[in-house]
Amino acid sequence: MSDERKINEISKNEQLDLFRVDDKGKKLTTNQGLKMAEDEFSLKAGERGPTLMEDFHFREKVTHFDHERIPERVVHARGFAAHGVFQVYESMQKYTMAKFLQNPTATTPVFVRFSTVVGSRGSAETVRDVRGFATKFYTEEGVFDLVANNMPVFFIQDGIKFPDIVHAIKPEPDNEMPQASSAHDTYWDFVANNQESAHMTMWLMSDRAIPRSFRMMEGFGVNTFRFVNSAGRAYFVKFHWKPALGVHSLVWDEAQKISGKDPDFHRRDLWENIEKGNYPEFELGVQIIDDEDEFKYDFDILDATKLWPEEVVPVTLIGKLTLNRNVDNVFAETEQVAFHPGHVVPGIDFTNDPLLQGRLFSYTDTQLIRLGGPNFHEIPINRPICPFHNNQRDGYHRQTINVGKVSYHKNSLAGNTPRPASVAEGGYVHYQEKVEGKKIRARSESFKDHFSQATLFWNSMSKAEKKHIIEAFSFELGKVKSQSVKQQIVDMFANVSLELAKTFAKSIGAISPKSGGSNITKSSPALSQENTKKKPDTRKVAVIITNGFNGPDIRFILDSLKKTGVQPEVISENLGTIKGSDGTQLKVDHTFLTTHSVLFDAVYIVRGSSVNKRFNKDAGLFVYEAFSHYKPIGATHEGKKWLETDEMGQGKGVVLDNEPQRFVTEFVKAIAGHRHWQRQL
């Protein structure tokens, strides 16, 4: 690879291609390239004798195996990723000189890793938690990482408290329980004693913490960044991702069951949809505040426990991200990818947000231990697509073979190169913000209101969302053992809403708050999932059916559902095929044993002429569970007859109709509605 163009000036896909190896059809060798004649038996002195030290193949194979694991991420350990592209809608030159935000005809390759925060690498995916949404843009000016979450605020205001919140929310150290859950004493003790976490805790108790899919979450850069244009003018900016499919969630009972039925639920959903060509899309949005307007708002724009209400500072959609390729190897790509909010390009800069400042230290530091040294930028998934040159040398796992004698600046032997680039040549210059102040460890007065936006969030929720928040507090605090912590939380959240605190106080056996309440009456409709996009696309429908179904009608209905983007899957008693009354054959995708109601968005029940007791019991449980999770239910033919005799038949979002076209239209509408909260359960 002497020609630098080969590795540094080719597309990201071609670059990754250089490292792809397909072992299929090849002879087995050692890592030194030696072909081996035997791979099943170690070298022994006699068939039943001791294994010999000289067995280099055994030693190499087992040693490599012994070292296969690297430390998991200290947070965000459980993650899944995909490749894609980003394209800006129109030039953003008024606000930023970032090149990848200038040309609407150019695409930038990206790599996106979604994650949970608290659980270990093997933990279940549908737990109540924040989700990470980290994007690496491989731009021609270098790598830009937008390391975001699916909630717009954070637990703490200053980076120095990050170890505290993480220690508190992780499993408790004496018994390492509970896994991937905030429902335990130390988390809630932290909240009660660090009241800046009130707003984030409201988000964590809301439906946002149990997303239906990575494809149906918003992303938020959380911290306030800066855009800088080529004239040197600066703007405050917050980044958003808006999913094309809208923001949708699971219900808590369902989320807990999925953790057992399919702990890989979110990665499977992402993987399968990309494999099928249902490429997930997100629009990049920005909220921009003029440099002069820094102090115009009733919150501090540098405080990461505050959001900028969209009704006050609108989100402008500036481009689109499409995820279109699964990884080849989870370890090489998803596990080894190294994000860092400090990976920026000219036109994007930082602010004094003290949480962001803490992050700027932490991310490189963590890669040093996790990826074993300072050369992690050379790992294929982390390499920029533009050339990189400097005098950094050596270290563990160095791959670049730097030629020549000179590795210092300034020099005369190499003509004083590599030399810094001027601004005109694309050199990065930090925004020259004027700062002065006394050295001090303190919180700004403007950061001290911890409750107003927590109340704003509460006020913005629909009736169903409020109910879920109360249930989440009741569940989590119901798991807390310390009566004192429970009471502290009740008293604390009385400052957010008396209605909220009083209701969950009762269910957790605490004393109802006597005082409190908030005078904040504002709400922000953009915060409610009730106001999100509602589409049927890619929704999974369980079709419960057995032999003797009406062939022509079912063929029409299933084909029509597929045309709307809905994904029907057939569930019956046994795998193989089932037959309709006219001989139509249907392949069975799952049995009642291999799948479960919680893994689908909707149920369509047909039954058939040959149902038995067992089928009726399994189908009944399946439909009942979907009903109790407020999911759309459709029924035709024998299924309709059966559901009509049950109370569920009268429920909202239940479509009973034997006219195929009308059924499809109504059922698809119900599917787009996602959940039918009006059901009285």
Single-letter residue type at 64 = H
Instruction: Report yes or no: 216 and 245 within 8 Å, Cβ to Cβ.
Output: yes
| Cβ distance to ligand HDE smaller for residue 102 or 366 | 366
| Binding status of residue 79 toward ligand HDE by CB under 6 A | yes
| Binding status of residue 580 toward ligand HDE by CB under 6 A | no
| Binding status of residue 363 toward ligand HDE by CB under 6 A | yes
Instruction: Report yes or no: 663 and 559 within 8 Å, Cβ to Cβ.
Output: no
Shortest separation between residue 138's beta carbon and ligand HDE, angstroms? 16
| Cβ distance to ligand HDE smaller for residue 115 or 636 | 115
Shortest separation between residue 355's beta carbon and ligand HDE, angstroms? 5
Subset of residues 15 to 74 that bind ligand HDE, contact rule: CB under 6 A: 73-74
| Cβ distance to ligand HDE smaller for residue 359 or 607 | 359
| Binding status of residue 115 toward ligand HDE by CB under 6 A | yes
Shortest separation between residue 430's beta carbon and ligand HDE, angstroms? 20
Subset of residues 303 to 362 that bind ligand HDE, contact rule: CB under 6 A: 304, 337-339, 355, 358-359, 362
| Binding status of residue 366 toward ligand HDE by CB under 6 A | yes
Q: How far is 414 from 152, CA to CA, in rounded Å?
A: 48
CA triplet 452, 307, 79: central angle to 5 degrees? 125
Subset of residues 287 to 306 that bind ligand HDE, contact rule: CB under 6 A: 304
Residue from 7, 75, 118, 570 binding ligand HDE (CB under 6 A): 75
Residue from 85, 148, 274, 485 binding ligand HDE (CB under 6 A): 148
Number of residues that bind ligand HDE (CB under 6 A): 27
Residues 6+ apart with CB under 8 A from 491: 501, 513, 516
| Cβ distance to ligand HDE smaller for residue 121 or 261 | 121
| Cβ distance to ligand HDE smaller for residue 96 or 334 | 334
Helix (H/G/I), strand (E/B), else coil: 386:
coil
DSSP sequence for 554-589: HHHHHHHHHHTT-EEEEEESSSEEEEBTTS-EEEE-
Shortest separation between residue 379's beta carbon and ligand HDE, angstroms? 13
CA distances from 438 to 303, 360, 435, 441, 442 (A): 20, 22, 10, 10, 11
Residue from 15, 108, 135, 149 binding ligand HDE (CB under 6 A): 149
Shortest separation between residue 32's beta carbon and ligand HDE, angstroms? 33
| Cβ distance to ligand HDE smaller for residue 198 or 464 | 198
| Cβ distance to ligand HDE smaller for residue 362 or 523 | 362
Residue from 76, 226, 468, 535 binding ligand HDE (CB under 6 A): 76
Q: Which residue is nearest to ligand HDE (CB)?
A: 132
Residue from 83, 113, 136, 208 binding ligand HDE (CB under 6 A): 113
Residue from 84, 119, 142, 159 binding ligand HDE (CB under 6 A): 159
DSSP sequence for 13-78: HHHHHTT----TTPPPB-TTS-B-S-SSS--BSSTTSPBPTT-HHHHHHHHHHHT---PPPSSS-S
Eight-class DSSP state of 331: I
Q: Give the position of tokens 């909260």.
A: 677
Subset of residues 501 to 560 that bind ligand HDE, contact rule: CB under 6 A: none
Shortest separation between residue 166's beta carbon and ligand HDE, angstroms? 8
- Is residue 402 annotated as a catalytic residue, yes or no? no
Instruction: Report yes or no: 553 and 660 within 8 Å, Cβ to Cβ.
Output: yes
Residue from 80, 111, 138, 154 binding ligand HDE (CB under 6 A): 154
Residue from 82, 88, 222, 313 binding ligand HDE (CB under 6 A): 222
Shortest separation between residue 465's beta carbon and ligand HDE, angstroms? 22
Residues 6+ apart with CB under 8 A from 597: 542, 603, 621, 622, 623, 625, 626, 629
| Binding status of residue 84 toward ligand HDE by CB under 6 A | no
Single-letter residue type at 504 = F
Single-letter residue type at 457 = F
Shortest separation between residue 112's beta carbon and ligand HDE, angstroms? 9
Shortest separation between residue 145's beta carbon and ligand HDE, angstroms? 9
Q: Which of 57, 76, 266, 340 is catalytic?
A: 76
| Binding status of residue 132 toward ligand HDE by CB under 6 A | yes
Q: Could you tell me which stretch among 148-156, 421-429, 457-465, 476-484 binds ligand HDE (CB under 6 A)?
A: 148-156
Eight-class DSSP state of 500: H
Residues 6+ apart with CB under 8 A from 581: 548, 549, 550, 551, 609
- Is residue 382 annotated as a catalytic residue, yes or no? no
> For residue 290, what are its two tokens?
């003029």
Shortest separation between residue 213's beta carbon and ligand HDE, angstroms? 17
> For residue 225, what are its two tokens?
């960044």
Q: Which of 57, 149, 273, 468 is catalytic?
A: 149
> For residue 608, what are its two tokens?
């058939």
> For residue 86, what are its two tokens?
């980003």
Q: How far is 79 from 662, CA to CA, in rounded Å?
A: 42
| Binding status of residue 201 toward ligand HDE by CB under 6 A | no
| Binding status of residue 285 toward ligand HDE by CB under 6 A | no
Q: Which residue, among 487, 506, 504, 455, has the nearest Cα to 193 in the 3D structure?
A: 487
DSSP sequence for 102-166: T-TT--EEEEEEEEESSS-TTS-SSSSS-EEEEEEEEETTEEEEEEEESSSS-S-SSGGGHHHHH
| Cβ distance to ligand HDE smaller for residue 79 or 285 | 79
> For residue 459, what are its two tokens?
């006020």
List active site positions. Answer: 76, 149
- In the complex, the residues that contact ligand HDE under the rule CB under 6 A are 73-76, 79, 113, 115, 132, 134, 147-149, 154, 159, 162, 221-222, 304, 337-339, 355, 358-359, 362-363, 366
